[in-house]
Structure 1
Amino acid sequence: MLMKSLAIAAAAAISATAALAETKTPFTLDWKFEGPSAAYFAAADNGHFAAAGLDVEISAGKGSLDAIPKVATGAFPFGFADINSLVKFLDQNPGAPVTAVMMIYDKPPFAVVGRKSLGVETPKDLEGKVLGAPPPDGAWAQFPPFASANDLDVSAITVEPVGFPTREPMLAEGKVAAVTGFSFSSFLNLVRLGVPEDDISTILMADYGLSLYGNAIIVNTEFAEANPDLVKGFLGAVAAGWKDVIADPAAGAAMVAKRNPAADVDLEAWRLKLAIDDNVATDYVMENGMGGIDAERMEAALAQIGETYEFKSAPDASLYFTDAYLPEGNFALK
């Protein structure tokens, strides 16, 4: 009995020491807690962060541009942000200590979401219509190259700045004919507002001429240089979280609901599944692993950004993404 008690005490001491040893690691998302956030909650709830010695506090964001300055200033060591917005940020703030280290949305969810009943089914249909766009929105940031790729007359499109909370309600009420947003979020938000599924047109920019990547894990480079093993552990835990929710989206949605009581579990599971199928587990990722990028595609993406954005300095892909913290062959999702 004494030996058993001592063993239990020793195990508890080891557990307590391990908990004390976990490094507090703030992580800021791009948006509020919805289905695609589930992978990070799975990394926490299923012990992947803890196994890497990390105590990760996950914070909601306010848009795809929101996380970049938070990480660049060191307020957060890690964030989740649109890499195309990061490219422009670093061009405008040369030397800022932030870069992407793990691609998550191999195929970006940037979209124009419209209603067929309001005359929007293709990019050209936007001409003569009112487009609702939140200024900090990642999809809106990519609208200029999308418009260029589809030869749109932007002077014929009335752009209405809208807030994130009012974006889909305005479309549901017919106050705008289309909005920019992430495909999985805007679509399901409209469904929740009662818009019939067959009245919603999701124009995914990646299907209409964009070579761009989407959201990636970003890191403060000064922090990463000082803590390379911690960064590698963080990314490994994130990959494990994605594998968990790919295997069981419903469980992932339940983790979201635990943090966001207003969430509809079935709806968030659907949103997560859409993100997995369209943006995360692409053919390229399933073949080449999760986390990395294709150099030629990245160069094409930078050239496409340059069609409508005047770089102050010649773009350099090595400034915006590094695979230094990824395993060889990236993270297998098979």
Structure 2
Amino acid sequence: MHRRSLLTAALAGASLAVPRVAGAQIEDKVEKVEILLDWKPLPTFAGFFLARSMGAFERRGLEVTFAETQGAVTSAEKIGKGSPYWIGTSSGMATVIGRSNGLPIKSLAVYYPKTPTVIFSRSEDRIAHPRDLYGKTLGVVPGSITNEELRALITVNKLDPDKIREIPVNWDAYTLIDKKVDALIDYEEMAPAELVAEGRRITMLRLADFGVRVYSLNLIVNDAAWADPARRVIAQKVVEAVQEGYNSVKERAGDAALRFSTLFPRLAPRYVDRSMVTVAQQLSGPPTGEQTRAGWEATIKTLESLKLLAKPVTVDEVAVLN
């Protein structure tokens, strides 16, 4: 199977259209905007889809559609071009790396203040600490931003990378189940949540618990679009509406899962329930969407230590702070 195995299959043919909300207060002028998501319509992006379902965009005079692409790095590159996409999601690491490579992008909001990336394995293999990876085979996906996060884990924990065997894989959780690898790396609410929902016993090593301090899921905007007064207003409305959507997940994960399942009925309900709880946990803590100078400084410092930046960047180059 290809990336996300059953999830990808379940999403095939799923409609992204959502009916208009009856009785919503619509502003006189409706602005159309297409938001680029850096992966498929999974609970990770629930704040966006629920914002549309709840009428949060509509009440602000926006008619929103979504596009999707293959990962945070690709999303940053496309938004950096400014056309056809000028606003969308990425990861904190991809945003900083992109900026250092000259991409004209900035972050407007951070939804995941810590990385949700985990290394997951069969429970019987007892991989619960970074050093437990010694002598094991770890499947990695070429081009994924999770590879840079893995480098950070190795560096922070002073591991010997030669003692960990890495092999390239597709986004296929069954390489783990079929014992072709000892462990895989992914966002917790994606493949790991799917396996847990299926009743499989897995152990998750959370990178954030072992010193990897980086911002993750965030909303980015093209510099030229942000400089344009009309599109800046649209972007600010998007920030407000998505905050409303993610707050509904944060406050009532069960209700959010039910609504999301209604939007995407071909996703397994047990998976959506499990995944949405994980998303809600990611949102706990700071106000939804909040980004701070300290948070970006930590992300930049991590990337500098890994020598992943083409040139030095500052927080003000990377993010629009209040």
TM-score normalised per structure 2: 0.85
Match of 1:170 among 147, 164, 175: 175
Cα distance, 1:260 vs. partner? Answer: 3.2
Match of 1:31 among 17, 39, 55: 39
**SS of equivalent to 2:73:** coil
**Aligned twin of 1:207:** 209
Higher mean C-alpha deviation, range 108-117 or range 246-255? 246-255
**8 Å Cα contact 2:92-2:299 kept in structure 1:** no
**Aligned twin of 2:17:** none
The yes-or-no answer on 1:280 pairing with 2:275 is: no
The yes-or-no answer on 1:249 pairing with 2:248 is: no
**8 Å Cα contact 2:38-2:72 kept in structure 1:** yes
**8 Å Cα contact 2:92-2:215 kept in structure 1:** yes
Q: Which has a greater percent of helix?
A: 1
Gapped regions of structure 2 (runs ≥ 5): 1-22
Larger Rg: 1
Total equivalences in the alignment: 297
**8 Å Cα contact 1:100-1:320 kept in structure 2:** yes
Aligned partners of 1:24, 1:146: CA distance in 2, in Å? 41
Higher mean C-alpha deviation, range 307-316 or range 203-212? 307-316
**8 Å Cα contact 2:44-2:189 kept in structure 1:** no
**Aligned twin of 2:272:** 268
The yes-or-no answer on 1:181 pairing with 2:186 is: yes
Q: Which amino acid letter does the alignment assign opposite residue 182 of structure 2?
A: A
Cα distance, 1:130 vs. partner? Answer: 0.8
**SS of equivalent to 1:132:** strand
- 1:6-85 counterparts in 2 under 5 A? 21-74=29-82, 75-85=84-94
Gapped regions of structure 1 (runs ≥ 5): 1-14, 325-334
**SS of equivalent to 2:57:** helix
Cα distance, 1:193 vs. partner? Answer: 4.8
**SS of equivalent to 1:21:** coil
CA offsets per residue over residues 129-178 of structure 1, 9 Å max, x none?
Answer: 111111233322211111011111111211111112x1x11111111111
The yes-or-no answer on 1:190 pairing with 2:195 is: yes
Q: 1:195 to 1:205 in 2, by over 3 A?
A: same
CA offsets per residue over residues 282-324 of structure 1, 9 Å max, x none?
Answer: 2xx0xxx232323234223322211112433222111111125
Q: 1:180 to 1:225 in 2, by over 3 A?
A: same
Aligned partners of 1:300, 1:141: CA distance in 2, in Å? 15
**8 Å Cα contact 2:127-2:205 kept in structure 1:** no
Aligned residues: CA RMSD = 2.2
Q: 1:294 to 1:21 in 2, by over 3 A?
A: closer
Match of 1:295 among 293, 296, 320: 293
TM-score normalised per structure 1: 0.82
Identical amino acids, percent of aligned pairs: 21
The yes-or-no answer on 1:148 pairing with 2:152 is: no
**Aligned twin of 2:113:** 106
